[in-house]
Amino acid sequence: MNQILFLFALYIHGVLFSFLLKKELGIWFCLATGFLWGSLSWVLITLFFLSINLPYSPILYFSVLAFISLVIILIELRIGTFKFNRMERWVVSAIFVSFLLFIILFTKINYSTPTQDSLFLLVMAQNISKNGLDNWVIASPASWGIFLPIIQSISSFLGEDYLRSLMPTFALSFLCLFSYMLWKFSTSMGVEIRKKIVIIIISLFVLITTPLFLLNFFYIHTNLISSVFFFAALTTFSMSSIEKEKNWLVFSMLAFWGFNLSRIENPIFTLVYFGMSLSFNKLSYKSRLIYLTPTILMVIFWYFSIARMNLGTFTDILDSSRSSTIALVYFLFLVAIIMSNFKWVEKRLLKNLNSLLFISLIFLLAWMFNEKPQHMTANLIGVLKNLFITGSWGAFWYLFLLSFLISIITPPFHYEGLFKFGIPVYFMCLLVLGFIRKLPYHDIWSDSANRMVINIMPIALLYMQLKISSNFASLNNHTIGTSL
């Protein structure tokens, strides 16, 4: 079995899994995101068996993946998921073949872009295949997310140096997901089909012509994987509110799982966005428990696991106290979720949680600038220079800043408040993370803060295009929802 069949098998498994909710969410979402859920399944299966101290065994993981796929097929045969019309059969077949040909192409034609960080991640992959979650050398989960190394760890079993087509496959999944979600959001605003197609084409052109984003389509690193899961998490969460369809939350939470396992600082962003989203998306108490609790427990489990590992590599960022602190904060958040059934918590705290978080971050940053004025000023200058000059973003952030200023005087669209809060909050969190660094952020494309901006860039682009869509809808005399 080579890497082509491995990656294609992950895609098939992910599509089968998402087909469980095909009737509720649509066939296009399942086909666009199949690789995300398949790769996440592989990572979770591997992580589970390694966590209970079983030796690394890809054959075991394949067996479990195949068994789960078989169970899913039996369930779907029972509920009638595989009932396709003639057009759908042709579409599914064509997409499967196209996906396979895409993997073959980028396996044969290797555009991979490695750096020193890439080598550290591949060393982690080798450590996993030989030692499981023990005896780390050079790099460990205290310095890098575990998602990419776990998938790349299959390389030695397949007789490969690394999975050459892995990053392009995530890039393809991202482009498909972005196009689909932009279509869905524009449809909810009543935009005409031809205008939606134009908006999507323009958006894809912006993505593939933004130098840093295009580089990450082939860059062996964690940022693209983190970005696609972050985008999937936030957009599906938003869609659950727009369509009043709770099944979107299943994939939102799964996407947050992938996001949290991609980079070590991502749970911090997740916690902030959980808090913000609870203010905008009026989830019932039951829904909060059902959908948020598993994600919270996963973070608690994983970061306590990191705290207990035999680490000590020179690249480690998290020590046992920092890992334990993250797990403890998530535990307190879980307690708050459990207590949110009290009326005063739901009406006074959850309703205003986004404003409280925003104000808290402002005061926290003010304190940080007071404590380390030179360090924090250097961080701010480094982030701004990378956005507008040295970060290889082209003209994107100039266009976004212009559109953001224009949005102040244009009518808001439904759910716009989450974008207006969420995008600035992301950059505020970047500065907060910079406070704990020994050295400030650098004004170069490869700086970690600049690469973390890849998470929010697609959200910013989506926001820009939704403002255009809302104006189209307004011209067509459609009702634009009020801002939340």
CB 33 within 8 A of CB 177: yes
Looking at residue 235, what is its pLDDT? 94
Q: pLDDT category, 476, cuts 50, 70, 90? A: low
Q: In this predicted model, which residue has the larger pLDDT, 309 or 151?
A: 151
CB 261 within 8 A of CB 302: yes
The C-alpha atoms of residue 246 and residue 188 are separated, in whole angstroms, by 16
Looking at residue 472, what is its pLDDT? 62
DSSP character string of 217-271: TTB-SSHHHHHHHHHHHHHHHHHHHHTT-TTHHHHHHHHHHHHHHH-TTHHHHHH
pLDDT digits (tens, 9 = 90+) for 63-107: 999 999 999 999 999 888 888 888 888 999 999 999 999 999 999
* The token pair that represents 279 in the structure block: 């203010």
Q: Which of 180-184, 289-293, 340-344 has the least mean pLDDT?
A: 340-344
Closest residue by Cα to residue 426 from 415, 437, 416, 418: 418
Looking at residue 95, what is its pLDDT? 95
What is the identity of the amino acid at 190?
A: G
CB 270 within 8 A of CB 303: no
| pLDDT above 50 for 480 | no
- The residues, any chain, with a CB within 8 Å of residue 159's CB and separated by 6 or more, are 2
Could you identify the residue written with the tokens 């990419």? 148
Average pLDDT over all residues of the chain: 89
CA 49 to mean position of chain CA atoms: 24
| pLDDT above 70 for 112 | yes
- The residues, any chain, with a CB within 8 Å of residue 128's CB and separated by 6 or more, are 46, 50, 56, 149, 150, 153
The domain segmentation of the chain, as residue ranges, is: 3-475
pLDDT digits (tens, 9 = 90+) for 426-455: 999 999 999 988 889 999 999 999 999 999
Determine what percent of the chain is predicted with pLDDT higher than 90: 65
Q: pLDDT category, 28, cuts 50, 70, 90? A: very high
pLDDT digits (tens, 9 = 90+) for 203-225: 999 999 999 999 999 999 999 99
Q: pLDDT category, 482, cuts 50, 70, 90? A: very low
User: Collapsing DSSP states into helix, strand and coil, what is residue 2?
Assistant: coil
The C-alpha atoms of residue 228 and residue 234 are separated, in whole angstroms, by 10
Summarize the confidence of residues 31-48 as an average pLDDT: 97
| pLDDT above 60 for 347 | yes
Q: Which of 4-13, 40-49, 100-109, 269-278 has the least mean pLDDT?
A: 269-278
- What pairs with residue 219 in β-bridges? 113
User: Collapsing DSSP states into helix, strand and coil, what is residue 403?
Assistant: helix
DSSP character string of 123-134: HHHHHHHHHTTS
CA 42 to mean position of chain CA atoms: 16
